[in-house]
Every structure is written in C-alpha cells, then in structure tokens.
Structure 1
C-alpha cells in the first residue's frame, strides 16, 4: 500500500511538471522550506506532497478555467506579503487559482498560504490535505508567526459575504473587515491587491439553503442553476496590482484604519474594472 501511494505521488508530480510547462520542475525545486523530523515545515507544509496534490488544481487552472495572469511580475520575489483579493463563486476556487499561479508562474515560486475557516479543520481528510499544502486556520497568532517568518498569506476580507453573495451583486465588493490591515501594520507587511475576474460566473447563487447549511455545519449553501455549486468553465483572469505600504499603528482609531482599508478596496475595485473592461467573453 505504501509503494502504491508513493507511485501515485510520483505520477501526480510528473503531471504537475507536464502541465506547468518547461522549467516548472526546476523552479519548484528552488523551494526549500525548513523541515522537522516529520519532513514538513513547522506548519505542516510539504513541498513534495504539495507538488503532487496540486496536479488536479493545475489541470483546472490550465484546461478548465484557462487562467490568464496579468501583472504577476509586480509580486516581490521574497519577504513577507499579504495578498488581498475579492472573493466569489460559492466554492473557493478563486483561492486555489491564486495559489497555483504563485506556485507555477513565478521564478522562484511563492508557496503562499490561504487562511481557512475554523470549521475546515474539523473535516476528515480535507484538514490533512490543507495542512500538507501549507494552508492554516486564520487565527491572528498563526498569521503573526507566518509573517514573522517572511511567508506570504492570501486573505479575503469579504469572507463568506463575498463568497456567497447573490448574482445580483456580482463584482460588487462587500464590506471589508479591518483585521488584515491591522495585521499589515503590526507586522510591517506590504499588501498586494488581487482582482479575480471570472469566479463570479462559475456558480451563480439563486437563493440560499440556510437550514441545510446548518445541518452540514457549513457557513452557507447556495442553490445554483446546476443544483449545487459545481463550477461552470468560466475563464479566469487574475490581476495583480502594485504592492501597497501603509504607515501607522494597528491600534489607530477605526476611522483612520477604515481610510486605509478603503484604499486597498479601491485598488482591488480598480483591477476588477480594468479586468471586466478588457475581458472579451465570460467563457472564452
């Protein structure tokens, strides 16, 4: 059984290198995070496991969503970073596509980490998968430790409000929390705004099923044209903006922090407007 698992992992790694294109293996091999006696970094991240596990997502990235990336050269090659993006699409494929882009399009790659909801850690198998791929529960302490180690985090300040918003509010940014901005100020971290165009159309919410969501211990469960939030093959466009730096204290009053939050929100909104204006078609 162990030999079969190892063979499967090697096959998936080969698929990742193939889908990633020339030079992918050499770029990924530049990732050398510290390892403990279990072969993972202090947060559970395993490069070899991730390289194999990312193969299905990379297939979606290349073949299904056919992701186009704009401005990724603006991403600093090293140092702590907060990627702040809009959120949509009922299921977090937008987070997965950003992760894949940073993993296969950059040289050297950036193994960014998304901040998952606490309920994700209760799911069997999924919690282990997320941990081995470096994804963590988004507690303030986890974030501080990762940024102190010069890691890159992906945050969605809209949270579930953005992910599950109805079709009538597509590409309308929902309220941003201030937590990410306080974190950036406390840890002296630049913010890279990211505009995701295409996720809104992957799964259009017609209505919510709150009782069933509660029964399944999920934050929300929408009803979509396909019955469930299975994604349609909308074409993704990821727009990366220039890094933003802010000065001040994380303990500044809410009005001052909100002004800076609005600056980030405005940058993302600008990227969305540009992306929508330049998009030729939703599906091709």
Structure 2
C-alpha cells in the first residue's frame, strides 16, 4: 500500500504541545511504544523506526491546559503495518490497564485513546484497499463495533515490543470552525480531494485514493475559536510533498485563493482558515 510515500501527499509528522514533558514521555514510551530520537529539557522527537520522527512533543513556557470547544487536534492516527500488531497493542493496553475505545470503519480497524493532556490518538490498521467500497467518488466508512475475539486470535503467543518499525502517521483529524472555506483551502490550495462527507459536520480528504489523509469536523461548534498559542494541543503538522515543483504549485494555488504561505527557518508554513499550522516539506 503506497498511500504514505511519494508521489502521494501525506502527513509525515505531528507536533504537539504538552503540560509536562516528563509525564508525556513516560506515556508515549511505556503505553504507546515510541522510542526517543532526541530530547532536550523542553522538547522531544519520538520515533518508531529509530530514524524518522513521527511525533514531536514540547512543553511551552507558561503552558495552559487544553481549552475546550476550540479548533485544533481531534486526533492523530498511527497506522500499524499488520493486524497482528493491532492485536498485540490491544493485549498490551489491557495488561497496563489503559482504557480505550474502538471501532470498525470498514476501511480500517481502530483503537482510540488520549494522552495525559487530552490529545486524541487513534491507532489503526487498514483493510486491503480491494475491500474498500467506492461509489460516485466517495469511499464507504462507518462506525461499527470492532470484532475483538477475531482480532485477538491474530496476536496470540506474541509479546508486545513497542511500535513496529513500519508504523507511519496514517492521518490527522482536525477540529475546524467551518467547512466551506476549509474545503477550498485543502482541495483548491493543497490539492487533496474529498473522499467522504459525513453530513454537514465533517469531511474526509485524501490524495491517491486513500480513505483519508485528513479528517475535518465542526463538532466543537461552527465558529469555534482558535486556542491560545501556549495552550496544550496541536502546534503544527507536516505534509510530505514529492518534490519542489509540487510545493511551488501549491504556493501558486494558495495565492489564487488568497491563502498565505510564509518562510520560517527554511521551511514553508501555512495555516488553514481555522488556524491549524501546516509545514510543507519536500
């Protein structure tokens, strides 16, 4: 499945703000199974394969707890390579007493939980794309109960050893203030296509016919405000682009819809209409 490598545009890294770095590091290492790639007093990069940063966490100055009913992160989603990997992490969560939710989305099987600050996390595996059902350009997704007896029969006799090295950032799901301008930003600006509409409250977008690289919802209320810059939550996320030409094309597309792109420390950075920061990386 080539939905998270070039030429597809996909989410490479998610950057979070937390209240207490040590507490978060303990959770992300011991519960989720990340390894630390680099760390300072206020910042850490986390990896599954020992080379690629998937998640960065930082403790800002004068950090505030998560603010409710704002735009920002709904969840980031870690995609595991195999169904047995999902079974192993279910067994691990049960052993450490971690509470979690679950769902069968037809295209995928997913677990849901939150970090100590309330940042949402999904851990999932994809079903084979040949099993996804498309109609009129939309992929069918639902919220069915996960079949745990069937899933757990895949992971027996194997111990959990942390996130497998083939784990990738599968997608990100965001709270936004409204959907019309947001859809224009992500489709006409970034070049994604809408692959599923969930009534008038959410839409799912992707590149290369994935079920979704980004989810967008107004469940925190239409007109939800941006959180404070130093509050817990999403700092930014990185979109991986196949080449400079693609990035230049996106910058041109942004100009045509009146969206700004800035250069910061050698990176090109933009924000969606709800203030979610995006780093455009080649």
TM bucket (normalised to shorter chain) is under 0.3
TM-score normalized by the length of structure 2? 0.26
Q: For CA contacts below 8 A with separation 6 or more, give which structure has more relative contact order.
A: 2
Higher strand share: 2
Higher helix share: 1
TM-score normalized by the length of structure 1? 0.26
